[in-house]
Amino acid sequence: MHKTRPLVGLPADTYEKDGFLFHSLGDKYVRALAEVADVEPVMIPSIHDATDIDGLLDHFDGLLMTGAISNVHPPHYGEEPTSDHEPYDHNRDAITLKLIKAVIARGIPLFCVCRGFQELNVVMGGTLETELQRGEGRLDHRAEKSPDVNVRYAPRHVISITKGGLLEHMLGKRETMVNSIHRQGIKRLGEGLVVEATAPDGVVEAVSVKGARAFAFGTQWHPEFKAAQNPDSVKLFGAFGEAVRAHARNRTQTHYERRTA
C-alpha cells in the first residue's frame, strides 16, 4: 500500500529577473524534509494578498521557515532600516510573519532556520542585531569566503546547550559544533522564547517556544545542509518529522470524530 506522507509547507523567497517576480526554495531544505524528516515538502508562494492563511494551514501538518539571503525589514521590530540591514524580501515578510503567528496559535509543528529563526524572534516581540562581527567580543559569524559550499557550511564554532532543554533532549548532549552562515542575530529575545543554546560570545543559537502545543523550535545555524550525513541534523529533523506525523494523526482523528458525531 502506498504510504501518504504529511505535508510540510515552506514559504518561498522572492526575487525579480527580467521584469518578472519569481518564487524559490533551496534544495537543501526540501531534501532534509523529504529524506530525513520523511514528510512531503510543499512550497507556499509568498503572495500574501492572495493567500487565505487559515484555509491554507488546514492542509499542512508542519511548517519549515527557511534561511535566506534577505533579512527581516527592521520596521517589523521597531527599528530604522539602514544599508547594514539589507537586502530585504518584503513579499516574504508579508506572509511569513503571519504564518508563524497562525501556526503557533493552531499548534502546528514549526521548525525555523536562520532567517526563519530571526522571523520567529520578531513575531514574538524580539529585536535583531546586525553585523554581529562589529560588536566587542563577538565572533565573526559570517560564512567563510569560498566557492566551495562544503567550506562555507563547515562546522565553525561550538554551542553550549541549555541543561534540561528541548535541544538537549533531542541531541542527548550539552554541546556540539555548528556551521555559521549569518551576520545578524537576536538582540532582544522575544517574549515566550526559551534559549536552548548559545555561541561562545553569547549569541543565541537556538530557541524554543515556551508552552507551545507542538514542536516549535529554531536554530540560527543550518542543520539542513547535508542533513542525512550529520547525526545532529538527523535527530533534529527526525524529531520534527515525528511531531508532524503526530499532528497528522490527531488531525485525522479529530476530522473522523466530527464526521461521526
d(CA 198, CA 177): 11
Inter-residue contact 178 to 196 (CB < 8 Å)? no
| Phi, psi of 127, rounded to the nearest 5 degrees | -125, 170
Question: 3-state SS of the chain: helix, strand, coil percent to 5?
Answer: 40, 25, 40
DSSP 170: H
Q: What are the helix (H) ranges across 76-146?
A: 90-106, 115-123
Q: What is the dihedral of CA 133, 134, 136, 142, to 10 degrees?
A: 0
Question: What is the gyration radius of the CA atoms in the chain, in angstroms?
Answer: 18
Rounded to 5 degrees, φ, ψ at 76 are -70, -20
What secondary structure letter does DSSP report for 81? -
**HEC secondary structure over 32-48:** HHHHHHCCEEEEECCCH
Indicate which residues carry an active-site annotation. Answer: 114, 222, 224
CA–CA separation, 207 and 116 (whole Å)? 12
> Which three cell numbers mark 170?
533531542
How far is residue 179 CA from its own chain's centroid? 15
Could you tell me how far CA 2 lies from the centroid of its own chain? Answer: 30
Question: In which residue are the cell numbers 550539552 written?
Answer: 174
